[in-house]
Amino acid sequence: MNKKANVVIIGGGISGCSTAYNLAKKGVKDIVVVDKSYISSGATGRCGAGVRMQWGTEMNCKLAKQSIEFYENANEILEYNRDVEFKQGGYLLIASTDTEMEQFAKNVKLQNSLDIPSKILSLEEAKEIVPHLNTEGLTGAAYCPKDGFLNPFKTTDAFYQAAKRMGVEFLTHTEVLEIKTNGKKIEKVVTDQGDIITDTVVNAAGGHSKIICDMVGVDLPVYSERHQILVTEPVEPMQDPMVMSFSLNMYCQQTPEGTFIMGRGDDNEPRDLRTTSSWEFMDEMAKTVTSILPPLGELRVIRQWAGLYNMTPDKQPVYGRVKEIDKFFLSVGFSGHGFMFGPLTGIVISEMILGEEPSIDVSMLGIDRFEKGNLILEPSVV
């Protein structure tokens, strides 16, 4: 296989598929998406499937809000023959200290100023929404009814199908080995299946984004770390919102299938690319969830898995060009929330490639912010 492309997108997750879709919609021809495995095989297909507007920085709030508004109509916009299974059951964020409640109050004020309908709840009000919540040791909660669940596989499949209908070529099971440059210009992308001649590359490689940057000598200040999840057997609907706690380190939501998906982070996780499962996670997750949501103790765990968070120093994504190489675009560093930003990622990256007026100003998410030290830290990540 040797071919030419106007744009090569590396990574067939939500970011890559959404970017391909938006570029094709704007009339760009000869777009190639390359993935070393299958569509949504990486972080997208391993994520917790939650989408929320309740963030702590203005940029994250805006990206999430507009993405969720897209998801509300995703089946129609993408003319999908299946269903992306969007369910707006809300997110109930629970606090366990007074300091955390103060942070929630700040976040809600910011969110409300951006027309996000979140609010602070008392523990009594929280219990009305999730009757089986154990409020012992908790100090309060925040809630947004617009947050919810979305099927990551089918959502990515919807973007993939729509892009394919417009002529985008997807090379799955194809690994990028090298990116050849001449000075600041990209000449071709070398894969294990042959070369693709192009001058424009999008790095949407998720957990592997740094490897791609290293190929062109761009120093990306991100690292990847494993985050684990487990899922239970399906039961009748009993919990509408995602229940999430930053201080107690957990999130847990019932999917439309009836299964419960839950996960937590681990501060001792090594910075590498492993996606194996550990028994420590299973132990800690079981202890945490049975203490906060006791009736879930009766449910059987049927599977656990892991995916990579691609972490930036401020836990916000990196969008845009780099100074070292022309037409090399970053769509990386989502720090565990790339799936929920997918629609906006595709819009902003496609506008940058075509040099169009941006529909949302993401200039503060450029890679130069790390050099300049302009970091606004996102406080709300599990």
Partner 1 sequence: MSKEENTIVCRCSDVTLKELRDLIAEGYTDYNEIKRITRIGMGPCQGKTCTQIVLRELSQATGKPVSEIKNQNNRPPVVGVKLKLIAEEAKEDE
Nearest distance from C-beta of residue 301 to partner 1, angstroms: 6
Q: Is 248 helix (H, G, I), strand (E, B) or coil?
A: coil
Residue number with CB closer to partner 1 (34 or 53):
34
**Containing H/E element for 61?**
helix 58-72
The least CB distance from residue 171 to partner 1, in Å, is: 13
Label residues 298-330 b or e (16+ Cβ within 10 Å = b): ebeeeebebbbbbbbebbbbbbbbbeebebbbb
Q: Work out which of 145, 221, 234, 379 binds partner 1, going by CB under 8 A.
A: 234
277 counts as binding partner 1 under rule CB under 8 A:
yes
CA atoms within 13 A on the CB side of 226: 16
Question: Which is nearer to partner 1, 261 or 318 (by Cβ)?
Answer: 261
Give me the 45-84 binding string for partner 1, x by CB under 8 A, dash otherwise. Answer: x------------------------------------x--
For partner 1, the closer CB: 67 or 156: 156
- Nearest distance, CB of residue 198 and partner 1, angstroms: 24
- Which one among 98, 272, 283, 361 touches partner 1, defined by CB under 8 A? 283
For the beta carbon of residue 371, count every other beta carbon within 10 angstroms. 11
Give the footprint of partner 1 on residues 246-265 (CB under 8 A).
257
Give the Cα separation of 125 and 143 in Å (integer).
10
Q: Which is nearer to partner 1, 33 or 353 (CB)?
A: 33
Core vs surface per residue 183-204: b (16+ CB within 10 A) or e: eeebebbbbeeebbebbbbbbb
Q: Which residue, among 62, 51, 235, 70, has the nearest Cα to 145 in the 3D structure?
A: 51
Rounded distance between C-alpha atoms, residue 11 and residue 33, angstroms: 7
For partner 1, the binding residues in 141-200 under the rule CB under 8 A are: 153-154, 157, 172
Binding site for partner 1 (CB under 8 A): 37-41, 45, 82, 153-154, 157, 172, 231-234, 257, 277, 279, 282-284, 286-287, 289-291, 296-305
